[in-house]
Amino acid sequence: MAEESERGTFWIRTLAKGASTAGAVLAAVCGFFVLISFSAKCIAMGIYMVGAGLVVLLLEATFCFMFLDIGRWLDSHSERIKHWQKMVVYFGLCIPAPAICSSTTSYIGSLGFLIAGMAYMVLTIGPKGERAPTSTVPYARQLDDISTA
């Protein structure tokens, strides 16, 4: 089986990184708008969205944080995270904000994480059209043995 870094074309990997970076920025911006609320739940979800956006930026766009020590460390280690793990994280990040604070901006901010998770799901599934070796010849021989018996 191909290594995880070799799976998927360059363009779909770039699209997934771009989608997750754009989703993180979208979630952080929408999180600031969710902060402007009179509900304590929505204020908490606004803080959550801004924090989640910064964490995803830290994982995906490590060049933004190269001035920090952890940015250099994450730059060398962020490529080791498997695509399915990123997919699960992004799908998990998109659930809490709209579930707790049902405002339009929380839905839009979580949509960025959902799109990023879907892009990594495409990378996880792999290229379409790979066929498993078919074993129709032994099956046909078994049918012939059954019919002659």
Q: pLDDT digit string (tens) for 34-76?
A: 888 888 998 999 999 999 998 888 888 877 777 777 777 777 7
What is the DSSP annotation of 4-32? TTTSS-HHHHHHHHHHHHHHHHHHHHHHH
DSSP 128: T
Among 3-17, 82-96, 133-147, where is mean pLDDT lowest? 133-147
Place of tokens 């990378």: 123
The pLDDT score that the predictor gives to residue 5 is 45
By three-state DSSP, how is residue 1 classified?
A: coil
Distance (Å, rounded) from C-alpha 52 to C-alpha 81? Answer: 17
Higher pLDDT, 37 or 146: 37
pLDDT of residue 136: 54
Specify the pTM: 0.73
CA neighbor of 91 nearest in space, from 126, 118, 55? 118
pLDDT (0 to 100) of residue 1: 42
Say if residue 121's pLDDT is above 80. yes
- The average pLDDT across 110-122 equals 89
